[in-house]
Amino acid sequence: MRFLAEYLAERRKLNLYREPVVYEPVDATHVRADGRICLVLAANNYLGLTHHPAVMAAAAQAVNAYGAGAGGSRLTTGTHPVHSALEQEIAAFKQAEAAVLYNTGYMANVGIISAVADANTVIFSDELNHASIIDGCRLSRARVAVYRHADMEHLRQLLRTEPCGGLRLIVTDGVFSMDGDIAPLDQIVELAEEYEAMVMVDDAHAAGVIGDGGRGTVSHFGLNGRVHIQMGTLSKSLAAEGGYAAGSRQLIEFLINKSRGYIFSTAQAPATIAAARAALGVLRRQPELVAKLRANAALMRQKLRRAGLKVEGEDTAILPVLTGSPEVALAMANQLKKDGLIVAAIRPPTVPDGASRLRLTVSAAHDAAELSEAAVKIIKAGRRLKLC
Ligand SMILES: Cc1ncc(COP(=O)(O)O)c(C=O)c1O
Residues 341, 202: Cα–Cα separation, whole Å = 29
- Check 30, 94, 220, 236 and give the catalytic one: 236
80 catalytic? Reply is no
Backbone angles phi, psi at 303, to 5 degrees: -65, -45
Q: How far is the CA of 43 from the centre of ligand 1 (A)?
A: 12
Task: Tell whether the model's pLDDT for residue 28 goes beyond 90.
Answer: yes
Q: What is the pLDDT of residue 338?
A: 95
Cis peptide before 184 (omega within 30 of 0): no
Residue of the CA atom closest to atom 7 of ligand 1: 105
Q: What is the pLDDT of residue 34?
A: 87
| Cα three-residue angle 58-201-138, rounded to 5 degrees | 105
The residue type of 202 is D
Question: Do 53-285 and 15-44+287-384 have the same topology in CATH?
Answer: no
Q: How far is the CA of 349 from the centre of ligand 1 (A)?
A: 16
Sheet containing 168-173: order of strands? 98-102, 243-247, 229-233, 198-202, 168-173, 122-126, 143-147
9's enclosing H/E stretch is helix 2-13
Q: What is the pLDDT of residue 216?
A: 98
Q: How far is the CA of 238 from the centre of ligand 1 (A)?
A: 13
Task: Tell whether the model's pLDDT for residue 63 goes beyond 90.
Answer: yes
Q: How far is the CA of 176 from the centre of ligand 1 (A)?
A: 10
Q: What is the pLDDT of residue 315?
A: 93
Give the model confidence (pLDDT) of 237-247 as tens digits.
999 999 999 99
Give the model confidence (pLDDT) of 318-355 as tens digits.
999 999 899 999 999 999 999 999 999 999 988 989 99
CATH number of 53-285: 3.40.640.10
Q: What is the pLDDT of residue 349?
A: 86
- Check 177, 235, 259, 356 and give the catalytic one: 177
Which value, in Å, is the radius of gyration of the alpha carbons in the chain?
21
- Please identify, in words, the CATH class of the domain defined by 15-44+287-384: alpha beta
Closest ligand 1 atom to the C-alpha of 177?
Answer: 16
Residue of the CA atom closest to atom 9 of ligand 1: 105
Q: What is the pLDDT of residue 15?
A: 81
Half-sphere exposure of 17 (CA within 13 A, CB side): 11
Reading phi first (left if > 0) and then psi (alpha if -120 to 50, else beta), residue 32 is in beta
Reading phi first (left if > 0) and then psi (alpha if -120 to 50, else beta), residue 110 is in alpha
Share of the chain above pLDDT 70, in %: 100
| Ligand 1: lining residues by beta carbon, under 6 Å | 104-106, 109, 130, 132, 173, 177, 202, 204-205, 233, 235, 243
Q: What is the pLDDT of residue 272?
A: 98
Number of H helices, E strands in the chain: 14, 14
Half-sphere exposure of 49 (CA within 13 A, CB side): 31
Residues 116, 169: Cα–Cα separation, whole Å = 9
Q: What is the pLDDT of residue 68?
A: 97
> Do residues 94 and 211 make contact, with C-beta atoms less than 8 angstroms apart?
no
> Do residues 248 and 228 make contact, with C-beta atoms less than 8 angstroms apart?
yes
- Check 52, 205, 228, 377 and give the catalytic one: 205
Return the best residue to mutate from 50, 178, 202, 233 for the ligand 1 pocket (most ligand atoms within 8 A of CB): 233
Closest ligand 1 atom to the C-alpha of 241?
Answer: 10
Closest ligand 1 atom to the C-alpha of 233?
Answer: 10
Q: Is 331 exposed, middle or buried (0-12, 13-18, 19+ CB in 10 A)?
A: middle
Q: What is the pLDDT of residue 19?
A: 92
Task: Tell whether the model's pLDDT for residue 359 goes beyond 90.
Answer: yes
Q: How far is the CA of 272 from the centre of ligand 1 (A)?
A: 16
Task: Tell whether the model's pLDDT for residue 381 goes beyond 90.
Answer: yes
Q: What is the pLDDT of residue 94?
A: 98
Residues 267, 240: Cα–Cα separation, whole Å = 14
Residues 25, 202: Cα–Cα separation, whole Å = 28
33's enclosing H/E stretch is strand 30-33
Q: Is 165 exposed, middle or buried (0-12, 13-18, 19+ CB in 10 A)?
A: exposed
Strands 356-361 and 318-324: antiparallel
Domain boundaries along the sequence of the chain: 15-44+287-384, 53-285
230 forms bridges with which residues in the sheet?
Answer: 201, 246
Residue of the CA atom closest to atom 16 of ligand 1: 177
130 catalytic? Reply is no
Closest ligand 1 atom to the C-alpha of 107?
Answer: 11
SS3 letters across 280-336 = HHHHHHCCHHHHHHHHHHHHHHHHHHHCCCCECCCCCCEEEEEEECHHHHHHHHHHH
341 forms bridges with which residues in the sheet?
Answer: 39
Q: How far is the CA of 376 from the centre of ligand 1 (A)?
A: 30
